[in-house]
Amino acid sequence: MVAQNKKARHDYAIIDTYEAGLVLTGTEVKSLREGRTSLTDGFVQIDRGEAWLHNAHIPEYHQGSWTNHSARRKRKLLLHREEIDKLAVKAEETGHTIVPLALYFKDGRAKAEIALARGKKEYDKRQTLREQQDRRETDRAIAAAKRRQRG
């Protein structure tokens, strides 16, 4: 795992996830392997039948020279035609967007996990936090009861 977008899971309700390949230059791959990437402002846009990753920050490779890339350029995502068509239709619905969740390497190739998501309202975020906190408390109580039972 190179980078995760934890903010996306907090701000959006994830509907469906996809794995996409990334078209990168050599210095981008080397910079990714160093692991200093940020996806917090990133989003995916479908343009003329192609998926593009915008605003993902892959810093310049420190040993690169004139061949270095720009840090926030748009990058093409490699998806099947059916997946792009499905995402394009769903993304045009009100309140839906496509966000990057993670960047990672799989069999030596850079991959992006993207998700079709719906924005959460403020009360939805509070409700999610409350549910997580309740789940944590019940897990702690169960673990404490098991420890008492053994001892």
* Residue 69: predicted pLDDT: 66
Mean pLDDT of 120-139: 88
**Predicted confidence (pLDDT) per residue in 67-114, tens digit:** 776 667 889 999 999 999 999 998 888 789 999 999 999 998 999 999
CATH number for position 110: 2.40.280.10
Question: Domain range holding 73?
Answer: 3-120
The answer on 69 and 17 residing in a single domain is yes
The answer on 82 and 39 residing in a single domain is yes
pLDDT band of residue 124 (cuts 50, 70, 90) is confident
pLDDT higher for 132 or 122?
Answer: 132
Of the candidates 117, 112, 118, which has an alpha carbon nearest to the alpha carbon of residue 56? 112
The answer on 48 and 104 residing in a single domain is yes
Dist CA 109 CA 32 (whole Å):
11
Structural domains in the chain (count): 2
* Residue 9: predicted pLDDT: 86
The answer on 69 and 43 residing in a single domain is yes
pLDDT at 66 over 80: no
The answer on 126 and 112 residing in a single domain is no
**Predicted confidence (pLDDT) per residue in 30-64, tens digit:** 888 888 888 888 899 999 999 999 988 888 877 76
Of the candidates 103, 77, 121, 146, which has an alpha carbon nearest to the alpha carbon of residue 1? 103
The answer on 60 and 134 residing in a single domain is no
Dist CA 107 CA 28 (whole Å):
17
* Residue 83: predicted pLDDT: 93
Q: What is the DSSP letter of 70?
A: P
pLDDT at 119 over 80: yes
